Amino acid sequence: MKTDSIFYRLFQECPSIFFELIGNPPETANTYQFSSVEIKQTAFRIDGVFLPIQDEENPIYFLEVQFQPDSDIYLRLVSEVFLYLRQKKSKNSWRGVVIYPTRSIDTGDTKDCHEFFTNQRVTRIYLDELGETASLPIGIATIKLVIENEDTTITTARELIDRTKQAVNLQLPQKQLLELIETILVYKFPNISREEIEAMFGLSELKQTRVYQEGKQEGRFEAKLEAVPKLLALGLNVEQIAQALDLDVAQVQQAVQKTPLNE
């Protein structure tokens, strides 16, 4: 599983984490819709875009997750942003956010777009500089688990799972957070099966509860709908997507109508 796909799922299911990460109130997510956007007539795809639902005063947030050195990252980001703005004719202002695991990965050349950093149009976030995991909000701590040292991942994950189970008035759904933690662990330990990970971290018992099972069935359906735009972008037609995801054609058509790729 690619690292950026983990972040896409995380921000798709728990968008409030993104706004908490950039220093905004988590409730800001209620006024945004998150998606991955392909810019037509180019080979550009933006990792994630937070689009204001109604308010033209709120900026559009363009997100890039960069876990490999790339000297052209900022030129590419700015090019993608302005192509998007040109095609969509948006009246909103914009902000760019680039997430790195460490500062050393940030090799982007800024000389031709320096002003975007001085006026804070573009923000860089280094996960290893966010602070100690135990002192971070649960959502941000979940993000940081992606870069946790392999020797300390198990201990950190257990502490994070315990915090999630015991937390009162969570801003994020407990079930989704636990599933995201599990997904990150599967990514970090490819030689351990998902069932073994569930047993190691006490997730097996949780998944037997009726509330969890009902929520999981709903989550699976939503995940299938979220996969429709990606399969559409790969060239599959509605009938092929319906067959691949075991959905009705009508359900796929409804998802296609809602995706920004068809605006």
Domain boundaries of the chain, sorted by first residue? 3-201, 209-263
Which of 30-34, 80-84, 170-174, 198-202 is least confident? 170-174
Rounded to whole angstroms, how far apart are CA atoms 154 and 201? 8
Q: Is the pLDDT of residue 247 over 70?
A: yes
- Is residue 145 within 8 Å of residue 181, measured between CB atoms? yes
The CATH code of the domain at 209-263 is 1.10.10
Beta bridge partners of 34: 50
Q: What is the pLDDT of residue 258?
A: 67
**What would the pLDDT profile of 34-92 be if each residue is shown by its tens digit?**
877 766 555 566 778 899 987 778 999 999 999 999 999 999 999 989 988 888 888 88
pLDDT tens digits, one per residue of 110-147: 999 999 999 999 999 999 999 988 899 988 999 999 99
CB 43 within 8 A of CB 28: no
Residue whose structure tokens are 């649960």:
138
User: Looking at residue 40, what is its pLDDT?
Assistant: 58
Pairing state of beta strands 32-38 and 45-52? Answer: antiparallel
Task: Tell me the residue length of the chain.
Answer: 263
Q: Is 262 exposed, middle or buried (0-12, 13-18, 19+ CB in 10 A)?
A: exposed
Closest CA to 46 of 18, 73, 21: 73
Is residue 263 classed as helix, strand or coil in its secondary structure?
coil
Strand order in the sheet with 45-52: 32-38, 45-52, 60-65, 94-100, 122-126
H-helix segments, the chain: 3-13, 16-21, 73-88, 115-118, 138-144, 150-166, 174-188, 194-200, 203-206, 210-233, 238-245, 249-258
By the 8 A CB rule, do 74 and 36 touch?
no
DSSP assignments along 188-204, one per residue: H-TTS-HHHHHHHTTHH
Confidence category of residue 263, pLDDT binned at 50, 70, 90 = very low
> For the chain, what is the mean pLDDT?
82
**H-type alpha helices, 47-127:** 73-88, 115-118
What letter represents residue 39's amino acid? I
Is the confidence at residue 94, as pLDDT, over 80? yes
Give the model's pLDDT for residue 196: 83
Q: Cα separation of 92 and 25, whole Å?
A: 20
d(CA 226, CA 12) in angstroms, rounded, equals 9
User: Looking at the DSSP assignment, which residues form a beta bridge with residue 50?
Assistant: 34, 61
Structure tokens at 212: 């969890």
111: Cβ contacts below 8 Å, ≥ 6 apart: none
Q: pTM for the full model?
A: 0.72
Q: Give the pLDDT score at 13.
A: 83
What is the structure's pLDDT at 228?
Answer: 81
Rounded to an integer, what distance in angstroms lies between the CA atom of residue 153 and that of residue 196?
15
